[in-house]
Structure 1
């Protein structure tokens, strides 16, 4: 099956392989297709890989009101229930990392290991509020998701990746996904995720945790990842040289090495 229903929202997911379940959570404005470089390596490592589209994103149902981090985390729990999975490893990038933090804090028994990539613990800042307002305005404008994608692409992936054949293929695929996205739904997400703050609760995370940062990430710089790592007992920190914000894509080999090493049985 490709869908599950939670709170009258019909959300899309896809899964690959078998073994220990791993859920991959994407960033705002993106879809589960952003995790394509990780699927084969994780399956080869013996994982059951589960890749949802967040509400309002990709093939999931459009939304007409704000949804926050806690709402999106409850969607993940509903997906695990739908699949009869008691506990899964959670891998989240950017917005997906915030959802991972909320799951680790609010549904600890459902989370095995935790990977927070290019993420941050709080959206309760003036800078993020201004950014979210800008995103929402762009998303609601004509062809908003495409405009936002084209504008953010240089910040999200490295120059070396943008110049590569794989970068060109990824740009074309993601551009097409943006063209089919619902700008109003993405705007509601941008507004809904503001004012989440787990920065004072990271020490409560008990799961084995890996923090991944990109050396060239201007949205979630390595210093922020290191600070998060210092607050989570026993957490590991990996900085990927030359990676920008979507490090799993522009530096897939290094990202996959760190990920599969951490998730190894």
Structure 2
């Protein structure tokens, strides 16, 4: 069954392919379905792809208290134990990138390669907490997750993608996901992730690391990823000029190529 239990909560995940494990971590209010553009290419290249829905997201169970990046990392430790996974690669975007950084810092000898896209090394700021509180208040409204998606879709993906056939299909799928997700759970996530700060610990990352930024991203601006890359000893930085915040979706081909080239380096 594609579920595992942590402290009485049921979390959902899927697996694809066989080979070297790679964990794909999605952003806030999204689900593992966001990694659909990358899964076939990873399977074709011989990876065992593990795609969870974070607690309070997608098909995973509801939350009844604020939930931090540490809490998400604890859940993923339980998932990897459940699956018997030892060493692995980790790819995370936005919130998923924050969780990926936390896992890599906890297990520097276990995470072999790390990809962090459109993300942050610090949310413990008044500005971020104010922004996240705004998200939480929207999530708590009736049909809040749909309201937030409709408000934020223009900033999540590029204008060109929004007008494309794939953009229309993606919007329909994500709208349906937002219609079924639990708004109060997402509010608990928004309020829980505002204490994250690994900015002074990035230099401890020794594994090869790739930071990806989108030239059109106004949430995690490119300079954020560029600065993180400069703090990590063995890091590369890639700017996808035409990408907005969800760069693995709106510029999927470029993102997938960069990710695979990095993960397959000798």
The Cα shift of 1:115 comes to 0.4
Partner residue in 2 for 1:226: 226
Show CA shifts across 1:197-246 (max 9, x none).
11111101111100000011101111111100000012011111210000
Q: Does 1:26 align with 2:39?
A: no
Partners of 1:206 and 1:9 in 2: CA distance = 33
Partner residue in 1 for 2:207: 207
Show CA shifts across 1:36-55 (max 9, x none).
00000111111000000000
Partner residue in 2 for 1:94: 94
The TM-score normalised by the length of structure 2 is: 0.98
**What secondary structure sits across from 1:150 in the alignment?**
helix
Partner residue in 1 for 2:262: 262
Show CA shifts across 1:47-89 (max 9, x none).
0000000000000000101110011001111111000001211
Question: Any gaps of 5 or more consecutive residues in structure 1?
Answer: none
Partners of 1:181 and 1:153 in 2: CA distance = 17
Which stretches of structure 1, 4 residues or longer, exceed 6 Å deviation after superposition?
Answer: none
Q: Does 1:17 align with 2:17?
A: yes
Q: Does 1:155 align with 2:133?
A: no
Q: Does 1:195 align with 2:195?
A: yes
Partners of 1:205 and 1:38 in 2: CA distance = 25
Query: Using a 3 Å threshold, how does the CA distance of structure 1 residues 109 and 77 change in structure 2: closer, same or farther?
Result: farther
Question: Any gaps of 5 or more consecutive residues in structure 2?
Answer: none
Partners of 1:65 and 1:183 in 2: CA distance = 13
Show CA shifts across 1:176-200 (max 9, x none).
0000010000000111111111111
The Cα shift of 1:110 comes to 3.0
Partners of 1:87 and 1:132 in 2: CA distance = 33
**What secondary structure sits across from 1:189 in the alignment?**
helix
**What secondary structure sits across from 1:37 in the alignment?**
coil
Instruction: Count the aligned residue pairs.
Output: 265
Q: What root-mean-square deviation, in Å, do the aligned CA atoms of Structure 1 and Structure 2 show?
A: 0.8
